[in-house]
Every structure is written in C-alpha cells, then in structure tokens.
Amino acid sequence: DVKVTQSSRYLVKRTGEKVFLECVQDMDHENMFWYRQDPGLGLRLIYFSYDVKMKEKGDIPEGYSVSREKKERFSLILESASTNQTSMYLCASSLGVWQPQHFGDGTRLSIL
Amino acid sequence: AQSVTQPDIHITVSEGASLELRCNYSYGATPYLFWYVQSPGQGLQLLLKYFSGDTLVQGIKGFEAEFKRSQSSFNLRKPSVHWSDAAEYFCAVAPSTGGGNKLTFGTGTQLKVEL
C-alpha cells in the first residue's frame, strides 16, 4: 500500500512565522501535490511537483512556496504565516499523469 | 478549464437504504472522473475512477458510479448503506487532454447515516 506521511497532524503557529509542512511518500511516485481544504470550498490545489526540483503553481499559490529536493519529500512553506492560512493541509502523490492520487491524513494548521 | 458541481451539501439516509450522490462536471471533452471518500480526521481515499470503456464503474466498499455523457454526470451509488459509510464524499475531474494530473474537486457531500 502507498503510504503518504505528513509530519504533523496538528500545528499551532503565530502570525509572521515561517512555517514548514513536510510530506513523505514511500512509493517512488513522480508527482506530489499540496492542497488546502476549507469547509464549503472543497480541496484547492496550492502547488504540485512532477519531478525533483520541478514545481508548478496550482490555483491558490499566493503566500506559499514549495521545495522538492528529493523524490520522496515535498515541503510546503508559508513564508510569513497569516491568520487566513488557518486550514487543513493535505499532501498527495501519484505514480504518473492521470493516475489516482494517494493522500496523507492531513495537517490541521492554526495561525494565531 | 474544468469544473465540478456537487449540488447536495448534506444528505441523510437510514442504514440499509440506497444512496445516490450527484456529481456534474463541465469540460469540453470526456474527462477522467474520480470519487474519493474522507472519513473524519483522515485523508482522502479513492473509491473508484472512470477513464474510458464501460460507463458503469465498480469501486471499493460496494460503491459504483455511472458516467452519463449526455448529462455530464458521474453519480455515485450504493444499494444498501452501512453506518460506517458516514463520511464526506468528493467528486473530482482531470482533463483527458493536456493539463497533466491536475484534479479539480467538487465541494463535497457530507453523508449522515441514521441507525
């Protein structure tokens, strides 16, 4: 079974802090994704990566950046956290184009 | 760009009753279609997918979905719901030409099961 592991289930940070969310997958998947999930809005794509050191903006990249130095790890960075970034963040990976995505359990991030 | 509509925000059914969750999409061609389920505190799990071929797709946990091109729909069904099916369900589409692996999700349908 594919395992996508997010480093924290719950995280509380302060406004202005630099926040790192980590995601690791164990199935040698090419593609990795970061989404945020908010009630009534579903999942919205922040960034995705289709190879090491490659990244593309999703639908809501403002205020975020990403890093993929190794194939199995994809990090989401909040450069200067703001309260409107309080949300559930989900990481996913997939083997290739049009293949189903496998999700981690999510990180619930609160910015105070 | 593709879009997905799940018109029902909440649905309540009795255990043992049948279930149908609606999903409509907007896309110029036939997209790739997915249903995911999210249990409380968990990530999303793939229930089933449609790429091509038979328009009735079988998935895990006894779920099935039917692709209807004329109605731009991909509704999820289950003949007899179990209490453990209570969860949030998401329909998603991906472009079949270009666009890579970019999924677009609906806003979800919360299913409550009454015992």
Confidence category of residue B99, pLDDT binned at 50, 70, 90? low
pLDDT of B98 reads 66
Stretch B11-30: mean pLDDT:
93
Q: How far is B16 from chain A (nearest CA, A)?
A: 28
pLDDT of B100 reads 58
pLDDT of B18 reads 97
Chain B residues touching A50 at Cβ < 8 A: 100-101
Stretch B79-99: mean pLDDT:
89
Closest chain B CA to residue A49: B101
CB contact under 8 Å between B46 and A101, yes or no, is yes
Please calculate the CA angle B63-B66-B67 and round it to the nearest 5 degrees.
140
pLDDT of A100 reads 85
Q: How far apart are CA A13 and CA A83, in angstroms?
A: 10
Whether the pLDDT of residue B103 is over 90: the answer is no
Sequence-distant (≥ 6) Cβ neighbours of residue B53 within 8 angstroms: none
On average, the pLDDT of chain B sits at: 92
CB contact under 8 Å between A97 and B101, yes or no, is yes
B96 Rama class: left (phi>0) / alpha (psi -120 to 50) / beta = alpha
Q: Residue B7, Cα to own-chain centre: how many angstroms?
A: 12
pLDDT of B70 reads 92
Q: How far apart are CA A70 and CA B52, in angstroms?
A: 34
Confidence category of residue B57, pLDDT binned at 50, 70, 90? very high
How many Cβ pairs closer than 8 A exist between chain A and B?
A: 55
Among B32, B44, B50, B97, pick the best mutation site for testing chain A contact (most A Cβ within 10 A). B44
pLDDT of B77 reads 98
Closest chain B CA to residue A96: B101
pLDDT of B101 reads 63
What are the pLDDT digits (tens) for A19-65?
A: 999 999 999 999 999 999 998 888 999 999 998 988 999 999 999 99
CB contact under 8 Å between A106 and B100, yes or no, is no
Stretch B49-61: mean pLDDT:
93
CB contact under 8 Å between B101 and A101, yes or no, is yes
What are the pLDDT digits (tens) for B4-20?
A: 999 999 999 999 999 99
